Amino acid sequence: METVLDQAAALAAGKLTARALVEQSLARVQDPAGEGARAFLKVHAEAARASAEAEDQLRAAGRAPSPYAGIPISLKDLFDIAGEPTPAGSLALADAPPARAHAPIVARLIAAGFIPIGRTNMTEFAYSGLGLNPHFGTPKSPFERAIGRVPGGSSAGAAVSVADGMVAGAIGTDTGGSCRIPAAFCGVTGFKPTARRVPREGVLPLSVTLDSVGSLAASVACCALLDAVMAGETPHPSVPATLTGLRLAVPLGHALAGLDGPIAEAFGRACRLLSAAGARIIEQGFPALEEIPAANRQGGFSPPEAYAWHRALLAEKAALYDPRVAARIRRGAEMSAADYVDLCATRARLIAAMDAATAPFDALILPTVPIVPPPIDACAEDADYWRLNAQTLRNTSLVNFLDRPAFSLPCHRPGEAPAGLMVVGETMGDARLFAIAAGVEAVLAGR
């Protein structure tokens, strides 16, 4: 994997051109031996080449719009791109009217000179943590690719596009873990911001309460700069925090229950490395955190909010939906207005309780996903699919419920099953989290 920063430095030094980067990206996407045909649903080859030529001319004239002008990225298939429909990994929207304008985050990335190479595959309508798509095929995790393991979802193609070096950065969404889960399963870095920081207009919704727009890349710094561009902020270098004296809380309880052996080993090793680097690792129970599963016993916010958006489309085109996705959406019809109001009140109460309980700490750390990526074949039966999907989403969905920013950082060794270390900050504490995650990343990498 290459970093966005490395490519920016090579462009600035004249060692690379935008056209060369685009051709390299397209070659990897179109490699018949690779996962590009499953990772991407649409490739913008000619538009990317034209954009690269323009960015090279601007750089030669000293007018490049940013240091990142000319760097290819991928976009999840639920972002509006002017002149195209926004299918969101579904057949039901294949003939939808084309978008009239770019989503704001797409417009901001293009204005900075980033070049969208194409639209990446995803779980239909972003509604699963496994990353399966029965319509267009499922891209495979890099881990034991011959076996064929799930990539994580719903930003499945986004993670694979980064892990396989097709692009240095990918843009996804995260409603219950959809950037962090595929990052963990594919061995890359994934970031979910505080939702309100990045505009969600022009993004096909799953849950208006929980949706956020995030990034996947090879490093914390890459995710941070992509986030800054999308948030309309000025990118600044991520200065790693000094870990000495940093208070990192490990939440005891269901977040640590039933860990697969490789995940438990990688997480324990990460905690020991951070402790040796000077961080104070404090294991503590958080009662409010333990209440979240009960609060979501009817499915949480996603079913009713998704059903409100989909009910007319479902009535017309249910046969075109993935049956598992349709079943989850239809569950939203069962929640009463009173139940929804109660859920909103419970969320506000638990957020306040967790804010108070975590105030003495700099961040929470826990395994991103409690299991290693299962084989795609292991999800064939519905009972196994639902069980594995629930396990996959278990830890990451806590963060969305609490409206907090979080990173998933690779914490496995080469050759081991992929494992993610989730580092969770405070609501609107994204800038502080960038520094903490960069410091943690450096320790995990042995720097």
Which residues carry out catalysis? 76, 154, 178
Dihedrals phi, psi of 69, to nearest 5 degrees: -60, 125
∠ CA 287-397-133 to the nearest 5 degrees?
A: 155
Are 143 and 373 a contacting pair, CB within 8 Å? yes
Cα 433 to Cα 7, 34, 121, 402, distances in angstroms: 24, 34, 29, 15
For residues 438 and 238, the answer to whether their CB atoms sit within 8 Å is yes
User: Which helix (H) or strand (E) segment is 422 a member of?
Assistant: strand 420-424
Is the CA virtual torsion 440, 157, 203, 311 positive or negative?
A: negative
Sign of the CA dihedral running 377, 383, 389, 392: negative
Structure tokens at 303: 């079913």
Provide the b/e sequence for 213-222 (b: ≥16 CB within 10 Å).
bbbbbbbbbb
| Spatial CA neighbour of 36 closest among 183, 166, 215 | 166
- Residue 117 DSSP one-character state: E
